[in-house]
Structure 1
Amino acid sequence: MSVSVLSLTRPLDTVSGLLQLASLLGLALLLLKTAQLYQRRQWMLKAIQQFPSPPSHWFFGHKQEEGRELKKRTEKYRCASPLWLWGSRVSLIVYDPDYMKMIPGRSDPKSEGAYRFMAPWIGKPFPPTPQTHCGPRYGLLLLNGEIWFQHRRMLTPAFHYDILKPYVRLMVDSVQVMLVNKWEELLSQNSHLEIFEHVSLMTLDTIMKCAFRNFQSYIQAIKDLNYLVFSRMRNVFYQKDIFYWLTSEGRRNHKACQLAHEHTVIKLRKAQLQEEEEPEKVRNKRHLDFLDILLLAKMENGRGLSDKDLRAEVDTFKFEGHDTTASGISWILYILATHPEHQQRCREEIQMFMRWEGPDRMPYTTMCIKEALRLYLPVPTVGRELSKPITFPDGRSLPRGFLVLLSFYALHHNSNVWPNPEVFDPSRFAPDASRHSHAFLPFSGGSRNCIGQHFALKEMKVAVALTLLRFELAPDPFRIPVPTPRIVLMSKNGIHLHLRKLL
């Protein structure tokens, strides 16, 4: 009997010993991680000691800070101030044109932090992990260094003025479908309309026409990804891939990525081009869409983009040209609805120029569009991780590896840069008006500015012109939009307008 009891207790002792060892290892790892976080925090505190900031919550940091507080920063803390996230991470948020001028001209890479959550959707330049479900791909938005320069150089011809000319007809078609087939029909039931959803579908329809072709399932996938990426950025428990992909939102993200990637139609288009004549003859024979240009483009070494690179650039083009432009158009229409005198002046100008010279010759309307973009720019902030130390014009400095956030929203609402910044005043953009070269950055600045900005502006002008010719716009006094930054600037409660059809 005693032998039997002894034989039973030995495995229990072994298990107990393993549990103790595991507990000790866990405690050691916890202490190591705590020490690393403490050391990192001390480094961050030393780096920002020259930059005062508002008080922050010990855990949330400044995460709950809203647009009003951001505007107050520009008044109280000159040029820039630290922004704490979750109480353990800090970046310097910049809103001064002299500071802004220094960053875009450097070769600092984009911050991996927020952009890595987009990687499964529009490219994977960061080290791949088994949990991402996506192979290594490279899209211009996420690229850095020499490979970014090569891709940028290859893609630039796709946005040349002459290439964009034929796109205007496609833009007009998509806008007319929205105005005639949707809005006029809805107005027969009610004069009130939430416009962002319709404008977003219209810009996506335009992108698909200019680049490839239309797919309904792709539209739903893009809507899902916009929500899921922003949701992941805001949730501290979703930061690690290994945990995120096990959640219901992670599985939805993976499914949406698969749907988005299925519609790049690269192999089919390659086969079509191979059946046609030589590339130069193809260029001259018909209008080339974005995918044609990518497939025909060559790097300096004579090689084209790989299928994975092509897919990433295609997905990037669809992402950057869709909700960003929809956000811009929706806010422009809202601001014109709230300023009927400017709306009418734009309408009269459009009636004069549209027939003879098209959307490019509408100076006052263009001024109104730019002023609306100043107030409600689609992409409020971008991040850069310093690849080397920097010293700003006032002598303050930051070390290598620090994260800098370029807050274009705060810059555009900075009363030290724009007098009466909350007032809609198109004359700020009159031909003879003077301003700092980096005071207005709706499409970022420097070498990494938005490659598709001329495409976006042209689409905005077309949408605004055709809308004002067909409808008179007025705001809904009971549903005032509440701007909220997501992947792009949206409204928490939608953008609601009253429309009256013009004779």
Structure 2
Amino acid sequence: MSLLSLPWLGLGQVAASPWLLLLLAGGSWLLARVLAWTYAFYDNYRRLQCFPQPPKRNWFWGHLGVIAPTEEGLKNLTQLSATYSQGFTIWMGPIIPFIVLCHPDTIRCITNASAATAPKDDLFTRFLKPWLGEGIILSNGDKWSRHRRMLTPAFHFNILKPYIKIFNESVNIMLDKWQHLASEGSSRLNMSEHISLMTLDSLQRCIFSFDSHCQERPSEYIATILELSALIEKRSLDILQHMDFVYYLTQDGRRFRRACRLVHNFTDAVIQERRRTLPTQGIDDFLKDKAKSKTLDFIDVLLLSKDEDGKALSDEDVRAEADTFMFAGHDTTASGLSWVLYNLARHPEYQERCRQEVKELLKDPPFISRRCTQDTVLPDGRVIPKGIICMINIIGVHHNPNVWPDPEVYDPFHFDPENSKKRSPLAFIPFSAGPRNCIGQVFAMAEMKTVLALLLLHFRFLPDHTEPRRKPELTMRAEGGLWLWVEPLNTGLQ
């Protein structure tokens, strides 16, 4: 027994010193954690060998910098998607792997998985949380499921249909600006800037029934929304600022906090005003008055929403969803419209055909990441290990030569019904797919179609002499803006 005594182990004083015993327990726990992590890392490393891997920069940096947020980075990404058409593994540094999927057959297992099996990963989206709270983009689990069910009626076509009038009004303000600028000889315009202001104008009216006149004069609220988006993009590119305690000590971090307060105060004021109105009028009277005077806005729908147990959203939840819609609805739509106009400017034959279709009708709307919570089997038998982050490479899918013939050629007839027959529904996923697809896609498409139709009726778009360089951020941008020449058309339409 003496061989098992504490003195034989060199721990004779432990009994008299609980701190040393605590230190021993803590060290043992830490060692166990390190060993468990090491085993899990090497197990995943072994299981990931079945996925091809592009050449690394070196052992330490891995593939960091290979897919940079630049034109060159996008070209590298499309080349990798063509070379490894089903998907590939990349390493962010020496220990963090991502599986990048770029084919409809492989992404189906992730997009069609339940929200519990493949929840959104928060590696970068967590930067949005101080602004957007637990809105539908950032929430997970039961909260996301409940909010998704409660918000779905808000995007029903019958609710969205009256918004067409708002889209028309906002576009007409922009058209008047363009007509005035063209008459003064300023026909070279930054589509990104003008269309972003127009979509922000539309959204403030649709969400809050508030007209900021932001297309005609500066608006503090709109300027703050744009500042928040820019600060988040800037932070995502600086790995040192990914740590909250570092970021909020910087000037940008302090600006971000001030901007969040301003946006939250605006939304809270609208919510409190509506809360005061609802109880005094009663819901039925409220809805009748709204129907007579104007469209039912998004705040109204949120305040009136109830779950299956009759429970309404809290003020914090309403604010989170309204701020989320404001953020997610303006930049994405503006970016999509800007690039559509750019491609139509470069292909005047398609632009004219689209314009003629509009006239005929008048005669009679980056990556997605998911973290697998269980082993996921792909169609070819390969397994994505539990805990691995999967990057659904939308750009790679849309430029995959094994899915699309001549993917780099702008050809609207790719989407002709005859050409789409044998193509997977996951070959084109601008709004993602599966249970966590974009809830606002009907709103976005309605706005984009309305805006595009009105723009083509009144202007011809011509390419600029400088070819834009793509810049993937929260949305696909162009470095220095997306510039086109506009030429007024004498349509006789008002």
Q: Taking structure 1 as the reference length, what is the TM-score of the superposition?
A: 0.83
Q: Does the CA contact (< 8 Å) of 1:57 and 1:87 recur in 2?
A: no
- 1:105-150 CA distance string (max 9 Å, x none): 2121100111111111111xxxxxxxxxxxxxx2000111222111
1:188 to 1:30, Cα distance in 2 relative to 1, 3 A: farther
Give the structure 1 partner of residue 53 of structure 2. 53
- Opposite residue 255 of structure 2, the aligned amino acid is R
* 1:224 equivalenced with 2:227 (yes/no): yes
> Alpha-carbon deviation of 1:239?
1.4
* 1:250 equivalenced with 2:224 (yes/no): no
Give the structure 2 partner of residue 488 of structure 1. 475
Q: Secondary structure at the match of 2:111?
A: coil
Q: Does the CA contact (< 8 Å) of 1:44 and 1:90 recur in 2?
A: no
> Alpha-carbon deviation of 1:485?
1.0
> Alpha-carbon deviation of 1:94?
0.6
CA distance in 2, matches of 1:51, 1:250: 39
- Opposite residue 88 of structure 1, the aligned amino acid is I
> Alpha-carbon deviation of 1:35?
7.7
* 1:109 equivalenced with 2:109 (yes/no): no
Q: Secondary structure at the match of 2:90?
A: strand
- Opposite residue 48 of structure 1, the aligned amino acid is L
* 1:63 equivalenced with 2:64 (yes/no): yes
- 1:363-416 CA distance string (max 9 Å, x none): xxxxxx8xxxxxxxxxx2110011111010011111211100111111000000
> Alpha-carbon deviation of 1:52?
1.5
Counterparts of residues 193-212 of structure 1 (less than 5 Å): 193-212=189-208
Given the alignment, which residue of 445, 468, 472 partners 2:456? 468
Counterparts of residues 274-423 of structure 1 (less than 5 Å): 274-276=279-281, 278-285=282-289, 286=291, 287-354=295-362, 356=364, 380-423=366-409
CA distance in 2, matches of 1:187, 1:493: 25
Q: Does the CA contact (< 8 Å) of 1:93 and 1:405 recur in 2?
A: yes
* 1:139 equivalenced with 2:149 (yes/no): no
CA distance in 1, matches of 2:363, 2:180: 23
- 1:269-290 CA distance string (max 9 Å, x none): 11122232x3244334423110
1:342 to 1:258, Cα distance in 2 relative to 1, 3 A: same
* 1:188 equivalenced with 2:189 (yes/no): no
* 1:99 equivalenced with 2:106 (yes/no): yes
Q: Secondary structure at the match of 1:474?
A: strand
- Opposite residue 469 of structure 2, the aligned amino acid is V
> Alpha-carbon deviation of 1:44?
4.3
Give the structure 2 partner of residue 127 of structure 1. none
Return 5+ residue gaps in structure 1 as ranges: 1-26, 124-137, 357-368, 370-379
1:32 to 1:491, Cα distance in 2 relative to 1, 3 A: farther
CA distance in 2, matches of 1:497, 1:87: 43
* 1:272 equivalenced with 2:277 (yes/no): yes
Q: Does the CA contact (< 8 Å) of 2:182 and 2:487 recur in 1?
A: no
> Alpha-carbon deviation of 1:181?
2.5
CA distance in 2, matches of 1:180, 1:421: 37
Give the stretch that moved more between structures: 157-166 or 100-109. 100-109
* 1:444 equivalenced with 2:432 (yes/no): yes
CA distance in 1, matches of 2:274, 2:280: 10
- 1:248-302 CA distance string (max 9 Å, x none): 11111111111221221211111122232x3244334423110000000101111
By relative contact order (CA 8 Å, sep 6+), the higher-ranking structure is: 2
Runs (4+) off by over 4 Å? 27-41
Counterparts of residues 447-458 of structure 1 (less than 5 Å): 447-458=435-446
Q: Secondary structure at the match of 1:78?
A: coil
1:33 to 1:313, Cα distance in 2 relative to 1, 3 A: same
CA distance in 1, matches of 2:386, 2:142: 20
* 1:233 equivalenced with 2:236 (yes/no): yes
Q: Secondary structure at the match of 1:83?
A: strand
* 1:426 equivalenced with 2:431 (yes/no): no
- 1:128-181 CA distance string (max 9 Å, x none): xxxxxxxxxx20001112221110111011111111111000001111111112
CA distance in 2, matches of 1:252, 1:499: 36
Give the structure 2 partner of residue 375 of structure 1. none
Give the stretch that moved more between structures: 309-318 or 35-44. 35-44
Q: Does the CA contact (< 8 Å) of 2:170 and 2:198 recur in 1?
A: yes
1:184 to 1:85, Cα distance in 2 relative to 1, 3 A: farther
Q: Does the CA contact (< 8 Å) of 2:188 and 2:484 recur in 1?
A: yes
Q: Secondary structure at the match of 1:263?
A: helix
Q: Secondary structure at the match of 1:405?
A: strand
1:394 to 1:319, Cα distance in 2 relative to 1, 3 A: same
> Alpha-carbon deviation of 1:38?
5.9
CA distance in 2, matches of 1:187, 1:432: 44
Q: Percent identity?
A: 40
